[in-house]
Amino acid sequence: MGGCYQWLEAPVRWSTEGGKHIKKELEDVAGAAETASNSRAFVIVARAGFAVSGILHVLIGVIAIRLALGESGDAEQSGAIAQLAAQPAGLAMIWIGAAACLGLGLWQVSEMLFGYSNAPTKTRWGKKLSAAGQSIVFLAMALSFGSFGLGNRRDSGESTSDTSAQIMQAPGGAALLLAIGLGIAVTGCVFGVRGIMRSFTKTLNLPSSRPMRRGTLALGILGYTAKGITLVLVGLLFIVATLQAHPEESTGLDGALKALRAQPFGSYVLIFIGVGLGCYGIYLMAKSRLARM
């Protein structure tokens, strides 16, 4: 009988020891990933992601101002990337941009997984959720750079329109498009509130120089406000197009800005948005150095 009990107990011991071994290996992998994400080289690449995003925002801002003045242009991320590619050594800059945005996206993933451990419980999950959203944004941006570098230069406005039409045809597609539009509009409101309340300063090490500090604050306030207004417009375009059953009109940022231009005083608002996006871009370039990472 004793041998029988030993035979029954052996799988239990093996299972327990095996589980502990697997748990230890997972903890070791997580520890190595956290250490890598805090390495100096990785953080430098991640900081460069802010600068790349800043350059794109400046270019989109310039295109928006040109639209207000009656010129043509693609006021989208794809249009900004195309302008960047047209510069000397443009292809090299495209791949540098892809690497920088990928680095920042992965850093945001590490923040979501390992960061904010000392933050209060009330705010910890909100910060992790924000990091998750930022990781999606920058990983998608890296994908756009990489796709462009590989020769896929499809207009992002057309891509958005086609995707919206496909979603509309799926079961529950209209509700999903409304949710997307509402989500974009709410994100715009969050940006606007951050700008007005100056809450963006919580993630910065502000310069000790008083003029530099004031300049950074001014860029952040104007930039976040303009970015917020822009996102609200894009979200509303999604919602209106869905309610009117014309998903092909959901053409993203470019479509929203061109629709705005057709409104009374739209050109003046468009100039404000263009200047604001430019300020937000310059702020992001400053953030690449000032961000707490």
Indicate whether 146 belongs to any domain.
yes
Indicate whether 1 belongs to any domain.
no
Indicate whether 16 belongs to any domain.
no
User: What pLDDT score does 161 carry?
Assistant: 59
Indicate whether 104 belongs to any domain.
yes
Query: What predicted TM-score, i.e. pTM, was given to this entire model?
Result: 0.78
- Report helix, strand or coil for 27: helix
Indicate whether 19 belongs to any domain.
no
Domain count, the chain: 1
In which domain, by residue range, is 38 found?
Answer: 24-290
User: What pLDDT score does 29 carry?
Assistant: 46
Indicate whether 78 belongs to any domain.
yes
Q: What are phi and psi of 78, to 5 degrees?
A: -65, -35
> Which residues of the chain fall below pLDDT 50?
7-8, 14, 26, 28-30
C-alpha distances in Å from residue 189, one per residue of 66, 102, 122, 141, 255 = 26, 27, 21, 22, 20
Indicate whether 13 belongs to any domain.
no
User: What pLDDT score does 7 carry?
Assistant: 47
User: What pLDDT score does 8 carry?
Assistant: 47
User: What pLDDT score does 158 carry?
Assistant: 57
